């Protein structure tokens, strides 16, 4: 695959991120396995996958921190060769992000002003007013949730086109997670910018996402918009007595719930005689995640 980048992301309608046959190995282990996808502008994309699926590695490749093979361009730039240029228009908060503990918040704003040409100190102060973080607070005096809010307020004050967030709400309580996502969606996303978020909190982010990408063992097992997902997958809630008849139609996943009802998820439309056995319901993202990423021996159909 050629490394030449010939389609500029500034062309109207061009994807912001384009991957074709991206591979990455660590020793004998294939961590990214022949990934091809595009991510357009104005999307909120969830990157889901179990521990070790390759999410962090893919994000690192996008920001030029991992040495992949194949073609990957972000904003029309090669992340490894044009990293400095790329970081003018891309924000990245890695899973190991830290802020200097000794610094006061206003000092970090001054620091960012000197470091990033597209950073707006006024905007960061405006964003911070929506949090409980004060300008005179020291980082070491802040709770973990407040530090994450501060980090986002600093990063979201950069006039970038893509934001990449690797498990940004890890370790935060539910209120802090909600506050974080509110700030991100309400204050940074504008219909033009795209954000890519990796997370294990599948249920919680479902309502925020426009698209979902699922990695399983380095492979992209799903890359779909939430709208398309509703059209492609179907689910049936049925009485346990109908279990054998439903199983005969080879659903992707079947599970029982404590209230006695069972649910089956299908890739594509289910046969009409099966649909008559229960009530059609919307498949949740978490159910699809389980169906598409659990061990092959438990899920032989999905692994084909």
Ligand X SMILES: Nc1ncnc2c1ncn2[C@@H]1O[C@H](COP(=O)(O)OP(=O)(O)OP(=O)(O)O)[C@@H](O)[C@H]1O
For ligand X, which is the closer residue by CB, 26 or 255? 26
Q: How far is the CB of 189 from ligand X (least distance, A)?
A: 23
For ligand X, which is the closer residue by CB, 30 or 141? 30
Q: Are 249 and 274 in contact (CB under 8 A)?
A: yes
For ligand X, which is the closer residue by CB, 61 or 75? 61
Q: How far is the CB of 195 from ligand X (least distance, A)?
A: 17
For ligand X, which is the closer residue by CB, 29 or 101? 29
Q: How far is the CB of 262 from ligand X (least distance, A)?
A: 30
For ligand X, which is the closer residue by CB, 73 or 166? 166
Q: What dihedral do alpha carbons 69, 91, 178, 130 form, nearest 10°?
A: 180
For ligand X, which is the closer residue by CB, 67 or 132? 67
**For binding to ligand X (CB under 6 A), which residues are involved?**
26, 31, 49, 51-57
Q: How far is the CB of 55 from ligand X (least distance, A)?
A: 4
For ligand X, which is the closer residue by CB, 96 or 115? 96
Q: How far is the CB of 196 from ligand X (least distance, A)?
A: 13
d(C-alpha 169, C-alpha 178), whole Å: 9
Q: How far is the CB of 97 from ligand X (least distance, A)?
A: 13
Q: How far is the CB of 26 from ligand X (least distance, A)?
A: 3
């Amino acid at each position: 695959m050629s490394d030449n980048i010939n389609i500029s992301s500034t062309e109207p309608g061009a994807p912001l991120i384009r991957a074709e046959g991206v591979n990455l190995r660590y020793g004998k282990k294939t961590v990214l396995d022949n990934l091809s996808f595009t991510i357009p502008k104005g999307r909120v994309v969830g990157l889901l996958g179990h521990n070790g699926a390759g999410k962090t590695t893919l994000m690192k490749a996008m920001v030029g921190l991992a040495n992949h093979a194949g073609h990957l361009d972000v904003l029309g730039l090669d992340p490894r060769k044009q990293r400095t240029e790329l970081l003018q228009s891309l924000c990245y908060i890695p899973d190991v992000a830290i802020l200097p503990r000794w610094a006061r918040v206003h000092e970090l704003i001054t620091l960012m002003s000197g470091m990033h040409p597209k950073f707006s100190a006024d905007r960061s102060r405006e964003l911070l007013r929506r949090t409980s973080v004060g300008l005179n607070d020291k980082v070491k005096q802040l709770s973990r949730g407040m530090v994450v809010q501060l980090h986002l307020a600093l990063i979201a004050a950069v006039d970038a086109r893509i934001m990449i967030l690797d498990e940004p709400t890890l370790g935060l309580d539910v209120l802090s997670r909600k506050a974080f996502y509110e700030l991100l969606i309400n204050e940074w996303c504008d219909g033009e910018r795209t954000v890519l978020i990796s997370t294990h909190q599948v249920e919680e982010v479902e309502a925020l996402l426009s698209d979902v990408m699922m990695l399983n063992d380095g492979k992209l097992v799903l890359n779909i918009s939430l709208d398309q997902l509703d059209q492609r997958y179907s689910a049936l809630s049925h009485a346990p007595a109908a279990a054998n008849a439903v199983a005969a139609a080879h659903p992707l996943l079947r599970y029982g719930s404590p209230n006695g009802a069972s649910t089956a998820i299908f890739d594509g439309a289910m046969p009409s005689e099966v649909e008559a056995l229960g009530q059609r319901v919307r498949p949740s993202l978490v159910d699809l995640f389980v169906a598409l990423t659990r061990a092959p021996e438990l899920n032989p159909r999905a692994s084909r």
